[in-house]
Amino acid sequence: MKYGRADSEFMKWRWRPNECELQIFNPFQFLEIVRGKTMAFVGDSVGRNQMQSMMCLLSRVEWPIDVSYTKDEHFKRWKYPSYNFTMAFFWTPHLIKAQVADSNGPTQTGLFNLYLDEFDEKWTTQIEDFDYIILNGGHWFFRPMVFYEKQKIVGCHFCQLKNVTDLTKFYGYRKAFRTAFKFINSLENFKGVTFLRTFAPSHFENGLWNQGGNCVRTKPFRSNDTTLEGTNLELYMIQLEEFKIAEKEAKKKGMKIRLLDTTQAMLLRPDGHPSRYGHWAHENVTLYNDCVHWCLPGPIDTWSDFLLHMLKMEARRSSNRDEMLHLKTNS
C-alpha cells in the first residue's frame, strides 16, 4: 500500500444492512443511469473523498477528462465522454458565505467569519443546471468561528473574543444547513435531486487530533461495539432535523431532497482512515495523524453502493409517476 501501510484487510469488509442485501457498486450500471447527466459534490474534503472514491470505481469502465474551467483544485470538473456524464466538486466547507478572519486563531487552526444567513456564491451561482447535488459538511465546524446574521455579530464558537457569546458550533452548524437548503429550495429552474450525505465521524483514540490521537485499528467495530454519542450524535441529529424541514418545503414545490445516510456505516470503520500513512515516512513534513478523511479503498466505496441504490429507487419513482400520468390521461 502506498506510504507504507502494511495491512489490507480493510478492503475486504462490506456494510450489510439489516434484513436486506445491498448490492455492490456496478460502474457500468451507474454510468448508464447517469448518461447525459451532471452531478455536483458540494462541501468539504470528505465530500471530495467521496468523489475520488467514485472516480476510482468508475475507472473500470472509463477514465474521465478534466474539463475544469479553472486551475483551482477546489473547483474541479470531470467528464466521461462515452456517457456524456460530468461530475464536479465545489469547495465550500461551511456551505455558506465564510471568510478567514485570522489564519491562526486561538487554536492555530484559523478563525472564520461565518455569515449564517448568506449564500456562498462560489457554488450557488453555478448549481442550478445540475441533475444531482450531493451536499455534505461537518468537520470544519470544529474550528473557531464568529457568527454573523444581518451583517452583525450574534455569537461565536470558541472565538475567545471579549463580549461575544459562545453559542457553540451546533448553532452555526444548524444555521448553515438551514441556509443551504433554503437556497436549494428557492431555485425556480432546478429539476434535479439533492442528496444530503450525513456526517462521517472521525476515529481519534488516546487523545485529540492535536494531542497525539490516532486510529490504528485494522478491523471494523461490530455493531454492538460502539454507539453514536456526544458531539457526533448532536451533529447527526441536527442534519436530520434540518433535512426534514427542507424536505417538507421541497415537497410543496415539487422538488426532491433525499437522505444519503452513511453515518452508522462509517461509525463502524475506524480502520478506514490514513492515520500516519498520508505521506512517505522520509518526507520532512509535520502532519497530525489523519483520522478524519477516507483515502483508502473499501470503507468509503460503500457510499457509492448507497448512492447507486438510491438512484435506482429514484428511477423507479419516476417510472411510477409517468405510469400514473399515462393512466390518468387515458381514463
Q: What is the mean pLDDT of the chain?
A: 92
pLDDT in tens, 93-140: 999 999 999 999 998 899 999 999 999 999 999 999 999 999 999 999
Q: Please count the helices (runs of H) and the strands (runs of E) in the chain.
A: 7, 11
Is the pLDDT at 50 greater than 90? The verdict is: yes
Q: Is the pLDDT of residue 90 over 60?
A: yes
Assigned CATH for 2-330? 3.40.50.1110
List the strands of the sheet with 85-91, edge to edge.
65-66, 75-80, 85-91, 38-43, 132-135, 193-197, 256-260
Tell me the per-residue pLDDT of 128-164, one tens digit each, with 9 for 90 and over.
999 999 999 999 999 999 999 999 999 999 999 999 9
Between CA 112 and CA 98 the distance in angstroms is: 7
Query: Per-residue pLDDT averaged across 238-252, rounded?
Result: 98
Number of C-beta neighbours around residue 3 at 10 A: 14
Whole-angstrom Cα distance, residue 106 to residue 120?
25
Please provide residue 78's backbone torsions phi and psi, each rounded to the nearest 5 degrees: -130, 140
Q: Look at residue 323 and tell me whether its pLDDT is greater than 70.
A: no
A 10 A CB-CB count for 69 gives: 10
- Residue spans of the domains in the chain: they are 2-330
Residue 211 neighbours by CB distance under 10 Å: 9
pLDDT at 60: 97
Is 312 within 8 Å of 33 (Cβ atoms)?
yes
pLDDT at 168 exceeding the cut of 70: yes
- Closest alpha carbon to 265 in 203, 311, 220, 204: 220
Q: Which residue has the higher pLDDT, 289 or 248?
A: 248
Least Cα distance to 14 among 273, 313, 269 occurs for 269
By three-state DSSP, how is residue 150 classified?
Answer: coil
What average pLDDT score do residues 44-48 get?
97
What is the C-alpha to C-alpha distance for residues 122 and 68, in angstroms, rounded to an integer?
A: 14
Q: Are the CB atoms for 156 and 145 separated by under 8 Å? A: yes
Instruction: Transcribe 146-207 into DSSP letters.
Output: EEEETTEEEEEES---TT--B-HHHHHHHHHHHHHHHHHHH-SS--SEEEEEPP-----BSS
pLDDT score of 324 more than 80 = no
Query: Which three three-digit cell numbers place residue 125?
Result: 451561482
What pLDDT sits at residue 299?
94
Q: What is the mean pLDDT of residues 22-50?
A: 97
Residues acting as catalytic residues: 45, 290, 293
What is the grid cell recorded at 311? Answer: 438512484
Question: How does pLDDT run across 75-86, given as a tens digit for each residue?
Answer: 999 999 999 999
278 or 166, higher pLDDT = 166
pLDDT in tens, 261-300: 999 999 999 999 998 876 555 565 556 889 999 988 999 9
Separation of alpha carbons 78 and 66, rounded Å? 5
151 φ/ψ sector (left φ>0, alpha ψ -120 to 50, else beta): left
Higher pLDDT, 251 or 6: 251
Does residue 122 contact residue 90 with C-beta atoms inside 8 Å?
Answer: yes
